[in-house]
Structure 1
């Protein structure tokens, strides 16, 4: 299968790298020509444009920063869509929007999939990230070999749009965990606790989480670098709020998280690293929430392994 990849940023560059590393016939495109050049040096082809990629590839993957960016790229590709072509949307996006765009692809005889990833840039880099996929089962079977190259755990979530709903659900939970970890670490420091000990106490207890075991480490290092910024968090929790609003669910915590990150953006800027939301509490208390022995960036210490479909538990008949 000839694959095109559009969007070579923090996540897209790593996912496309997994495809290339595992021998996939890959062409790439990005508005940043330097990123394209780096991939070409590694063996990819310069895809020239979204339109050209859709014309010359069997499947085209988009991994872009906003629904508007995805819409603009798909508009350019759409005239080249026809039977046998697949559009794979790996961006974090709005479910209603991906269904709207996907319908245009399907109307022209192509197939559409929303297949966002979850698990952090460090796992995207090693091919060990998790991937959700929303599409019909036949399309899922066609793209599963690609997904198992980019990710380790692949979940077929149902129809087009379902993966995007679950992606913003999981990102909402990650944001809630980040804010609660920030508060827990600041309170521990204010109460006189050793932060290294506090980290381990949380890690081995019922209070632990994926976010604590990753982001708390770079918080304590002081780098706060997970290659994710406050504006992206604000986008994701806003998308989650939209899902809740459409479903008629009155949330308590969601609006508060939106308020917290809006304040963080006002204080520190939209491109501030997202774990630096803890600075709101550091500034308020005068405390420095750092400790020795923690890494500046997260590294995936698991060896790269072929991915596989996650089988959903069902009641026995």
Structure 2
């Protein structure tokens, strides 16, 4: 197989890291980002526009914030659609609305090109190391053809089915991620206020039925003040939860658990943390729980924490 020419549009938090993995793997990347600083930092060969990236690439990778921006980049004047060529593969690594994805795929198919929706999991750390998980919808043969490119950014690539199925899978995964993160944040704040050793609490949770990605990978760092900056922001987490609620409404599935993460990440956004990593949701919950920070002493901690199981002294005297 001849070497595929690779282009990348969207070189921000995740796209820039994936571009780095491609470059370290010996893949030349022609890149474009609306922010010059992102383009400069990525190390990619700079293109003047997304149109140039599309014209001069066999595989075009997209990593963009939401469906509105994906649609503008792909369907806009002199965008990707206007410049695709027959046999080209466009891979959307964004988290996007499946209905929008399917509509774009149909338009590219009419011009003989393939549009794969490839949801990603693993966060900034995995993007940096090239160990992401990809959940891909679209033509299986097109996916097989570009596997040598994807191998530089992902260690697990799963074909989920027809167009849109990759982004459906991503929304399902991200909703569980949002539930686990927001619920664990609440539990950890409660553990702090109850006077528990948080390392010991995590040891128990990770050996028990409450174990989840947040207890395993996030909070062992957060309890010592490392919020793992560089990952999904509170705004983007809220966007993904909202896309999930739209999806299940379309499917006719009862949505019984969305209120928790909507409230938690809404609180984080309202408290001025919109563009901070979603792990800071624990500080938003801590703020309204008496100013709690997991890695700091409790406010007024010169006295022992209250035993939540014991009646308050005042009540005992009534």
Fold match, TM over 0.5?
yes
- Residue aligning to 2:277: 273
Structure 2: distance between partners of 1:146 and 1:132? 15
Q: Deviations over 1:268-290 (max 9, x none)?
A: 24213211111233222333311
Show the counterpart of 2:179. Answer: 176
Contact 1:129-1:150 at 8 Å conserved across structures: yes
Distance 2:61 2:244 in 1: 23
Partner of 2:21: 18
Q: How far apart in 1 are the matches of 2:126 and 2:296?
A: 24
* Per-residue deviation, 1:190: 2.0
C-alpha distance in 1, partners of 2:292/2:71? 44
Instruction: Report if the CA contact (8 A) 2:182-2:260 is conserved.
Output: no
Q: How many aligned positions are there? A: 289
Query: TM-score scaled by structure 1?
Result: 0.87
In terms of mean alpha carbon deviation, does 164-173 or 277-286 score higher? 277-286
CA RMSD, 1 decimal: 1.6
Alpha carbons of 1:21 and 1:279: their partners in 2 closer, same or farther (altered >3 Å)? same
Structure 1 counterpart SS, 2:96: coil
- 2:295 corresponds to 1:290: yes
Deviation at 1:263, TM superposition (A): 2.5
Where 1:116 maps in the other structure, the secondary structure is: strand
Partner of 1:257: 261
Q: Does 1:51 align with 2:54?
A: no
Match of 1:310 in 2: none
Whole-angstrom CA distance in 2 between matches of 1:123 and 1:221: 22
Distance in structure 2 (CA, Å) of the matches to 1:38 and 1:224 = 23
User: How far has the Cα of 1:64 moved from its partner?
Assistant: 0.5
Tell me by how many angstroms 1:291 deviates: 6.8
Deviation, 1:179, is 1.2
Contact 1:241 1:255 in 2 (8 A): no
Q: Output the CA distance in 1 between the equivalents of 2:167 and 2:202.
A: 32
Structure with the bigger RCO (C-alpha within 8 Å, sep 6+) is 1
Match of 1:145 in 2: 148
Question: 1:247: how far off?
Answer: 0.4
Greater Rg by CA: 2
Structure 2's unaligned 5+ residue stretches are 298-318
Render the CA deviation track for 1:219-263: whole Å, top value 9, x for unaligned. 212242342211001100001001101001121111332233222
Extract unaligned runs of 5+ from structure 1.
293-317
Measured in 1, the distance between the counterparts of 2:15 and 2:202 equals: 31
Q: Distance in 2 between matches of 1:288 and 1:136?
A: 48
Per the alignment, residue 218 of structure 2 pairs with 215
**How much has 1:264 moved relative to structure 2?**
2.2
Counterpart mapping for 1:161-240 below 5 A: 161-227=164-230, 228-240=232-244
